[in-house]
Chain A
Amino acid sequence: MVQIRRLQEEGADIIAIIGEIDASSSIELDLTIAKSVGEGFHKILVDCTALEYISSAGLGVFMSYIEEFKDKHIHMVLFGLKEKVANTFSILGLADLLHIRSTKPEAKQLLNELSV
């Protein structure tokens, strides 16, 4: 139902979510982010270009890391959200709490600015 791939570019960990994240699959997103943090990455990009659906279980995973990331000076930027997915973030007001950009270059630029 969901595939999550990781690759590293210029010191950033890129997490690509392919498919749908709901209450049955959100654990995979959680484990992937935890692994990235555990490996010591301070720059995380989340590629949402192939994310077709996200429910509150997946949004809750992103939210649950907000404080930990602040404490550990880890920065995460999401990019490539489809309109229907972006709408879910907007309904909850999460678009203001998370860093979200349209394209990968914009996301990388913000990540570099945040990491200075």
Chain B
Amino acid sequence: MSYQFSIGCSLSNLKGIREFVRTSLRAHHVPEVEMSAVVLALDEMCSNLMIHAHHCNPDHQLGLRIDVPAENTLIFEIIDEGSQFDINAFATPELGNLIHEKRKGGLGIRLVKAIMDNVEYLQRDGKNVCRLTKTIHAS
């Protein structure tokens, strides 16, 4: 089963992204706590891309694709043509440092790495693809 969605790089569209993820996964019996976690991770990845790679230009498009190859495996792809924003290139910031520096950013990377099992980047048809994989454990 596969689901697709495309949206402009405006932060006001994050709500639509969360709704797309929830609606797409509704039929796949994802437990509520894990559903909330993957919705959050997608919101974090998309807002990072919108801000850092696309400077919130609503004319730039992000593509989202969700594949559910097996009932316990979720594969999310975020497809764009911006400069790549690779979270693997960023060290996960220490909480203590974030507090000391009064930084409001940096937490999203911690969240995505904690929630998803794998984050990888690839190129397809000249576009950047960020692929996030999550295995759902039976509750």
Contact = CB atoms under 8 A, between A and B. Distances in A.
Interface of A: 1, 20, 22-24, 26, 30, 53, 55-57, 59-61, 63-64, 66-68, 83-84, 87-88, 91-94, 97
Contact of B107 (A1, A56, A66): A56
B104 A60 contact: yes
Given A60-B104, A67-B99, A84-B36, A22 B47 contact: yes
A84 B116 CA distance: 17
Main SS of the interface on chain A? helix
B103 A64 contact: yes
B108 A55 contact: yes
26 contacts: A1-B15, A22-B11, A22-B43, A23-B14, A23-B43, A23-B47, A24-B14, A26-B104, A53-B36, A55-B40, A55-B43, A56-B110, A56-B111, A60-B107, A61-B104, A63-B98, A67-B100, A68-B102, A87-B36, A88-B111, A91-B110, A91-B111, A92-B110, A92-B111, A97-B95, A97-B99
Interface of B: 11-12, 14-15, 18, 32-33, 36-37, 40, 43-44, 47, 50-51, 95, 98-100, 102-108, 110-111, 114-115
Contacts, number: 85
B51 A92 contact: no
Contact of A63 (B12, B36, B104, B108): B104
Contact of A92 (B43, B103, B107): B107
Main SS of the interface on chain B? helix
A92 to B, nearest CB: 6
Contacts of A87: 33, 36-37
A20 B12 CA distance: 12
Contacts of B15: 1, 20, 22, 24
Q: Which of B14, B50, B110 has the most CB of A within 10 A?
A: B14
A91 B114 contact: yes
Contacts of B11: 22-24
Nearest to B10: A24
B104 A64 contact: yes
B99 A59 contact: no
Nearest to B50: A23
Nearest to B47: A23
A22 B104 contact: no
Nearest to A23: B47
